[in-house]
Chains A and B, each alone.
Chain A
Amino acid sequence: MTKNQVRKTLMEPLGKNNPVFVQILGICSTLAVTNKLQNTLVMTLGVMFTAALSSWTISLLRNHIPSRIRMMVETMVIATYVIIVDIVLKAFYPEMWKQLGPYVGLIITNCIIMGRIEAFALQNKPTLSLIDGLASGLGYAYVLLAIAFIRELLGMGSIWGFRVLGSWWTNWSIMIMPPGGFFVLAIFIWVIRETIMKEAKNV
């Protein structure tokens, strides 16, 4: 495991191989939870935790898992970590747990996690897989937080629950509803691809 390899694994999901705006994975949760920054942060922390540890676990087991049942094992491991997140939230952060409702459980079906396990953890060493899972989670997190920032600001006139725009501001209700997530995400992907990623596309 060279330094270069670690660096590449860590940086790629943040930029040119971002799970959200390049691979277009994990979109369902992007729409559902990004209408408030607080919810988004907890959700993305859950995804980072699950992605990192399930990649690590599967990578540890990768030489022992019979390939025909690997998906069942992967799902089982992912579900276990997600339920751990759910139980911990329920016991220690009950207010947050109530607000997120069913979304925590839906981390199980987040395609980023299974995607990274299939594409990376099954072929690589545990430590590198852990870094890859964590970096993918981070790449997912910052995009979602950016979207949530825009949606909360325009939809409720607030940031992190504090009102920042005065009473003159009329809330754009559509921003809080799922269609708002589609609009912001689509514009976000378009802007990133047309500006920052233009050179990469031409090579």
Chain B
Amino acid sequence: MKAKKTFYSERIYPLLFMLIVTVFCILLTSGLHLSTLQRAQANELSFTRRAVLQAGGVDFENTRAGIEKAFLENITLEDGFYTFLGPEGKRYIISVIGPGLWGPIEIMVGLQEDLTTFSGLAIVSQNETPGLGARIEEQWFTNQFMGKKAPFILVEEGTARAENEIDSITGATRTTEYFRNLVNRAASDAQIIIRGE
């Protein structure tokens, strides 16, 4: 089908065609985006709340409803930080963002009343290498901060004993170094944010 070349077929029609396709595609995607927006925001909120609960050392059921229930029952939002009044005293939870090896790492840190002993730690977001640096998300790594005191030093994987020693991850030395800096900064930031010192 060889059509005759006219001004309309050469100039106007391609423009009109592109315009229609573009408008249609935009309507379709933005419609879908808007219709799922609430759901996506609820997911984000749930992620943050779960991190706060993990950092504060609060027991919760790992479902959307379970997270919401535990969060609303236990956690109070104050000026720039969260608090949790648990059986073992008051806990402060703050969020800290800092550089990782490849991109920013955001963590949620829970501290006991002395602001040096950790009650827990959770990772909100990170962009480290899957299988290497991304192993900072593994339970054994984040759980080891529980009950330990900042500032931390890194030791070889599997040898941490003292209350300021943290196992680093074999094969992810650089990431764990950045992570140590971030966690140590969290403890000093907490003094400023919570005590205003």
Contacts and interface: CB of A to CB of B under 8 A. Distances in A.
Interface string A46-75: 000000000000000001111011001100
A68 B13 CA distance: 11
Interface stretch (B17-25, B65-73, B177-185): B17-25
Nearest to B47: A94
Given A72-B18, A73-B17, A73-B21, A35 B40 contact: no
A177 B9 CA distance: 51
How many interface residues does chain A have, given as a range?
20 to 34
Contacts, number: 73
How many interface residues does chain B have, given as a range?
20 to 34
Contact of A155 (B17, B25, B43, B131): B131
A156 B131 contact: yes
B39 A77 contact: no
A10 B25 CA distance: 29
**A interface majority secondary structure:** helix
A116 interface: no
A73 B24 CA distance: 12
Given A66-B13, A69-B18, A84-B32, A177 B132 contact: yes
A68 B14 contact: yes
A90 B29 contact: no
Contact of B132 (A64, A99, A176): A176
A101 interface: yes
Interface string A141-169: 00000000000000110000000000000
16 contacts: A35-B130, A35-B131, A66-B17, A69-B14, A77-B21, A80-B29, A84-B29, A84-B32, A87-B32, A90-B40, A94-B44, A94-B46, A99-B130, A156-B131, A171-B131, A177-B131
Interface of B: 1, 9, 13-14, 17-18, 21-22, 25, 28-29, 32-33, 36, 39-40, 43-44, 46-47, 125, 127, 129-132, 171
